[in-house]
């Protein structure tokens, strides 16, 4: 019960929480009102960096969501050219994370990471189409247990300024494992083959729990 009300936070959040706490103390020196503003800021920082445990289905017939947020695209596209997959057709689901969503990202399937590729870029609104080509982003190419190519892309947004990768090439993953996070408002794309989508645009997803697609 306690862990649901006060979930653990991601390691990236501790320094921001300390900074917010110092600002709160300084604000209180000047006025109670400013101190209250600082306290609200500190609570928001804690909430943003929360890293709650999730209940994972652990079923190779499904892909789970890599991110919390809103489904903004469900479409068929060419694969990402950055990974040499531009001549291969994939289905793609895009998930937009606002600043109130949990920003810890998880793998949609069990498998092995074949490639990780970081691309520097701009910080446009992550919900825009061109964000997938222009913004800072990080690619994870995963070979699932059914020998399918699954690609997860972390895309930095208008506010986000750092993509955190916590995985390595050739790493074995279990469905729902944490692979990284993005700080302050962003998007996650998942490219997949040989699965059928289970979600629609406008639906809310929960990382590691929402079933995105089924074989």
Q: What is the pLDDT of residue 161?
A: 62
- pLDDT, residue 160, reads 56
Q: What's the domain count of the chain?
A: 2
- Residue range 101-119: mean pLDDT, rounded: 95
Residues 112 and 138 in one domain: yes
Of 108, 115, 128, the closest CA to residue 82 belongs to 115
Question: 65, 94, 132, 186: which one is catalytic?
Answer: 186
Q: Which band of pLDDT confidence, cut at 50, 70 and 90, is reported for residue 5?
A: low
| pLDDT exceeds cutoff 90 at 186 | no
**17 & 110 share domain:** no
Residue 191 lies in a domain: yes
2 pLDDT more than 70? no
Active-site residue flag, 3: no
Give the least confident one: 93-97, 150-154, 180-184. Answer: 180-184
How much is the pTM?
0.87
Question: pLDDT (tens digit, 9 = 90+) per residue, 23-65?
Answer: 999 998 989 999 899 899 888 888 878 888 899 999 999 999 9
Confidence of residue 1 (pLDDT cuts 50, 70, 90): low
Q: How far apart are CA 123 and CA 130, in angstroms?
A: 11
Residues 121 and 15 in one domain: no
Backbone angles phi, psi at 141, to 5 degrees: -95, 120
Q: Which domain holds residue 8?
A: 2-48
């Amino acid at each position: 019960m306690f862990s649901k009300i006060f979930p653990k936070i991601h390691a990236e959040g501790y320094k921001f929480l300390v900074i917010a706490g110092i600002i709160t103390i300084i604000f209180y020196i000047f006025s109670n009102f400013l101190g209250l503003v600082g306290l609200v800021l500190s609570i928001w920082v804690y909430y943003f960096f929360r890293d709650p445990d999730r209940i994972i289905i652990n079923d190779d017939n499904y892909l789970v969501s890599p991110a919390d947020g809103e489904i903004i695209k469900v479409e068929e596209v060419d694969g990402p050219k950055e990974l040499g997959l531009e001549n291969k057709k994939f289905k793609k689901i895009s998930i937009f994370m606002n600043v109130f969503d949990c920003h810890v990202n998880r793998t949609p399937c069990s498998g092995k990471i074949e490639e990780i590729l970081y691309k520097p870029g701009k910080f446009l609104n992550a919900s825009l189409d061109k964000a997938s080509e222009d913004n800072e982003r990080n690619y994870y190419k995963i070979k699932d247990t059914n020998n399918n190519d699954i690609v997860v892309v972390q895309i930095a947004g208008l506010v986000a300024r750092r993509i955190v990768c916590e995985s390595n090439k050739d790493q074995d993953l279990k469905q729902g494992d944490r692979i990284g996070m993005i700080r302050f408002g962003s998007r996650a794309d998942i490219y997949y083959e040989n699965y059928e989508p289970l979600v629609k645009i406008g639906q809310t997803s929960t990382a590691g729990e929402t079933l995105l697609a089924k074989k």
